[in-house]
Chain A
Amino acid sequence: MVELPTVLDGLGDALSLTNLMFVIAGVAVGQFIGALPGTGPVMAMAVAIPFTFVLDPLPAIAFLVGVNKGGLFGGAIPAILINTPGTPDAAATALDGHPLAKKGKPVKAMKMALFSSVTGDTFSDIVLITLSAPLAIVALQMGPVEIFALMIFAFSIIAGLIGDSITKALIAVVLGLFFAMIGLDPEHGTPRLYFGYFELFDGLPLTAVAIGMLAVAEIFRRLAKIGKSVLSTIDIPDTQAPEDRRVSRAEYWSCRYVMLRGAVIGTVLGAIPGIGSTAAAFMSYASTKQASKEPESFGKGNIQGVAATESANSAVMGANLIPLLAIGIPGSITAALLISAFKIHGIQPGPLLFEQQGRLIYGLFGAMMMANLMNLLIGQASLRLWAKIISAPESLVFSAALVLCITGVYASTGGMFGVAVMLAFAILGYLMTRFGYSVVIFIIAFFLGNKLELSLSQTLVILDGDPMAIINFPVALALLLLSLFSICWLGYLAPRKARRRNAASDNKLNDEGKSVN
């Protein structure tokens, strides 16, 4: 589909000096923000996105990819040094990383986190580069009926996998779709639900909605929770035995299967919309512990625990982009944020990207591989610096993040209206999170809403208004049946089975307790 000269041109663009500088800047910013306690790659990207609209598309997206990759590793630093993972992704890293640091090997723990993060990330990027173009070819064979069914299927999977209540997840989907309806109706071109605000003719600005719900809501929550206690950090001694401040080749090699397993788990889970890096990190950690000859050493500073979690949570990032680039469906917060960056530059993610913007896509792939290398080099060079900044006060970190969000959205949407939308959605996002309604599902549904309406409209024309005519479209029919099955299975049958299993094991434990007594 994409010709070789286009691929080579794209890779050439990625290797230009300007692009390299933006990748380096992105990785450094990502590692810096990730290392601040309480922040992570999502916050880093949310703050950075509006400022990239002055750049050309490739440097802008390369910068954001660098921020994300740097942030993923940066999040491991507070997890290891102060046992305070900034994001749930890094929570599993703290299980063995912090005990290892307490044993006097903080640098070794951080370096292992860095190496395994880069290894997992590179593996996942290679899978992305290999798979996304063929998948996009398949996606391009689909007509509106199949695309509509595919979106319904994606919603059912995401709703079933994110959160602990399918009803709440479906409410989040419907709410996201409703807000996507604001603006011009695609079929008749009539304005709707704009309440007299002409700024809403083009719909709600995605950047303002995404930043409000994902970053500002979290900033408010963090500000409200700031305590007066100062987190105790593990000092890095100036003089350490060389073997305690480096990861030897033998140690790295001994973790090869652990990292490979983590990378495979992260890549597979990352490619499925809705499953995040937290699940991948914990699953990889659990399977490594299970496969180990010394499972009792886990949780007490086993370096394999750090390798397992970091390789898995970083591998999710590249794989997350597979559904986004191949079929235009974002599967995670990061992908949803990247979409707003694409949209700022007037680019519509999806299978047509390979045909229309092949050079940009291969430039992005090249930038991703470069970002992995830069992540390794900058991480190696700056570990001690990042270890110092974790003592920066949360009061300043979150105030600065709030002002940056306001400034960024003001600059990218061109006025205070966008900032007001951001604030309104921050309040909505905060309340949804507190009441257990997923904002990630909301954002994904919000992004896909217009596409869904358009494909439904085309589907009805093709079917001539007769829903039974869907039997003439076997792929769409199969996808719709699978959606029904996944809602029933993921939403009702699997949780019921899990509850029964838990109840049975509780009863068994109670019976054992009674017989012991």
Chain B
Amino acid sequence: MLLNRLSGAFFVSLGLLLYFAVIPAHTEIVDYGWMRPQSIPNACAILLVILGVVQAVFPTGAVSVNLPELFRTSLFVAITISALWAMANFGFLMVVPLFVGVIMLIVGERRVGWLVGGVIILPVVIWLTVVPLLERTLP
């Protein structure tokens, strides 16, 4: 219930932020025509505020937030962001084996055969498919 109310409050804040700060700063203001560039974004921001208030006051629907799962997910997101940064700087073939190996080890994979499959075979197969076969580049 509390999380439901909080999610409603979040959308109220988001709507206000969009209406007063983001949309005016990042939309070219045009003052002619029935529809202007800011019309629908502003309408969305106002609707977010109204619906957010409704959700905060009369919370409905299920929430399934599990903190340990959220923590583990954040860890995988952080690893993926680091891997993307590393890929952009050091290249696909250098980073992906390490990336896959780390993920597999974190989730508890210890069988050497499957680890070799993920760390060596998978990146090579993907690289061979995309670069020579599809003739596209990879980072």
Tell me the A residues contacting B by CB distance below 8 Å. 51, 54, 163-168, 170-171, 174-175, 177-178, 181, 185, 187-188, 190-195, 220-221, 223-228, 393-396, 398-400, 402-404, 406-407, 410-411, 416, 419-420, 423, 426-427, 430, 434-437, 449, 452-453, 456-457, 460-461, 465
Which of A170, A190, A396 sits near B117, CB closer than 8 Å? Answer: A396
Q: Is the CB of B55 within 8 A of A399?
A: no
Q: How far is the CA of A402 from the CA of B109 in the complex (A)?
A: 16
Chain B residues with CB under 8 Å of A190's CB are 27-28, 30, 37
Proximity string of chain B (43-86) to chain A, C-beta cutoff 8 Å, 1 when within and 0 when not:
01101100110110010111111000110110011001100100
Q: How far is the CA of A178 from the CA of B122 in the complex (A)?
A: 38
Least Cβ–Cβ distance between A488 and chain B, in angstroms: 14
13 A-B residue contacts at CB 8 Å?
A167-B58, A178-B41, A188-B30, A190-B30, A192-B26, A193-B27, A193-B41, A224-B69, A395-B118, A399-B104, A435-B63, A453-B35, A461-B34
Least Cβ–Cβ distance between A170 and chain B, in angstroms: 5
Q: How far is the CA of A386 from the CA of B130 in the complex (A)?
A: 26
Chain A residues with CB under 8 Å of B51's CB are 167, 170-171, 174
Q: Is the CB of B26 within 8 A of A453?
A: no
Q: How far is the CA of A426 from the CA of B81 in the complex (A)?
A: 12
Query: Is B94 interfacial (CB-CB < 8 Å)?
Result: no
Count of B residues near A, CB < 8 Å? 70
Q: How far is the CA of A396 from the CA of B113 in the complex (A)?
A: 11
Q: Is the CB of B118 within 8 A of A435?
A: no
Contacts A174-B51, A427-B77 given; does A407 touch B130 at CB 8 Å:
yes
A415 and chain B: residue at smallest CB distance: B139
Tell me the B residues contacting A by CB distance below 8 Å. 3-4, 7-8, 11, 18, 22-23, 26-28, 30, 33-38, 40-41, 44-45, 47-48, 51-52, 54-55, 58, 60-65, 69-70, 72-73, 76-77, 80-81, 84, 87-88, 92, 96, 99-100, 103-104, 107-109, 111, 114, 117-118, 122-123, 126, 129-130, 134-139
A464 and chain B: residue at smallest CB distance: B34
Least Cβ–Cβ distance between A103 and chain B, in angstroms: 32
Chain A residues with CB under 8 Å of B11's CB are 171
Q: Is the CB of A193 within 8 A of B26?
A: yes
Q: Is the CB of A460 within 8 A of B34?
A: yes
Which of A164, A453, A465 sits near B40, CB closer than 8 Å? Answer: A453
Chain A residues with CB under 8 Å of B52's CB are 171
Contacts A164-B60, A435-B63, A436-B64 given; does A221 touch B84 at CB 8 Å:
no
Contacts A190-B37, A393-B114 given; does A403 touch B99 at CB 8 Å:
yes
Which of B22, B45, B65, B109 sits near A396, CB closer than 8 Å? Answer: B109
Least Cβ–Cβ distance between A364 and chain B, in angstroms: 23
Q: How far is the CA of A167 from the CA of B62 in the complex (A)?
A: 12
Q: Is the CB of B47 within 8 A of A181?
A: no
Residue among B7, B38, B87 with the most chain A CB within 10 A? B7
Q: How far is the CA of A490 from the CA of B81 in the complex (A)?
A: 40
Q: Is the CB of A410 within 8 A of B103?
A: no
Which of A187, A396, A456 sits near B114, CB closer than 8 Å? Answer: A396
Q: How far is the CA of A235 from the CA of B102 in the complex (A)?
A: 32
Q: Is the CB of A193 within 8 A of B107?
A: no
B134 and chain A: residue at smallest CB distance: A54
Q: How far is the CA of A516 from the CA of B5 in the complex (A)?
A: 41
Chain A residues with CB under 8 Å of B96's CB are 403
Chain B residues with CB under 8 Å of A227's CB are 108
Q: Is the CB of A411 within 8 A of B136?
A: yes
